[in-house]
Amino acid sequence: MSEKKTSEKSDDKPTRIWLVEDNETLRRTVARVLARQKDMECTRQFERCEECLEALVAGERPDFILFDLGLPGMSGIEGIRRIKSVLPQIEILVFSVFEDNEKVFNAICAGASGYLLKTSSMGEIPNAIREVLAGGAPINARIARQVLDMFSNFAPESKDYGLTERETEVLEQMVGGLTKKEIADQLNLSFHTVDKHIRGIYSKLHVNTMTGAVAKALKEGLLPKG
């Protein structure tokens, strides 16, 4: 997944980023910020989800998509869901003014790899993109607190997804906010072994991203108590 893309781009190829944002001024500002990064380039800009989907259907491919949620026409959440259903390997970072629990939760469940508020500084955007590509899941601290509070209101369903003991250990580290490299160091495993376990977790939990796995683990009480 993202590690493979990152390694492929470690030489001189910048990450190709698409931007889906209906505010023209903000869209141009973000595009300029990305253009100043040596390891990134904003190759396409869209005002609506439908335009982004049309480009994908035509065969164009980005490495990463920066997505607004409050868009004209199809919502950003529905757009993310459709893109991830056919191209699960593409990383998507939400960049939105919305910070209510429902939209954050729905965006994560749809397949977003992180959630950045538009109140963030422009300098945080490229850093968040790099964090996602490194296997992380950037979420604003206030958003993270709200989501955790929301999950605490759910009664664990105690479903058995058949996770192995090692997969459960890896999932615990994911919930703790560690990246794949940090998990490998923490559990004294190779990076590729951790990646294999995470792919197994994704398959068994029926999710496509680290944030999706963490959300499901918290919502359904999949980790051992204490």
The pTM is what? 0.64
Question: Which two tokens mark 135?
Answer: 């296997």
Look at phi and psi of residue 20 and say left if phi exceeds 0, alpha if psi is from -120 to 50, else beta: beta
Q: Which phi and psi (to 5°) does residue 96 adopt?
A: -140, 160
Q: Is the pLDDT of residue 36 over 50?
A: yes
DSSP states along 58-119 = TT---SEEEE-SS-SSS-HHHHHHHHHHH-TTSEEEEEES---HHHHHHHHHHT-SEEEETT
Angle (CA) 124-102-54 rounded to 5° is 70
| Tens digit of each residue's pLDDT (9 = 90 or more) over 39-94 | 999 999 999 999 999 999 898 999 999 999 989 999 999 999 999 888 888 999 99
Q: Does domain 2-143 have CATH number 3.40.50.300?
A: no
Least confident residue range of 95-99, 120-124, 183-187, 222-226: 222-226
Please determine, looking at this structure, whether the domain spanning 152-219 carries the CATH number 3.40.50.970: no
Per-residue pLDDT tens over the stretch 138-159:
876 667 666 666 665 655 555 7
Task: Report pLDDT for 1.
Answer: 39
Sequence ranges of the domains in the chain: 2-143, 152-219
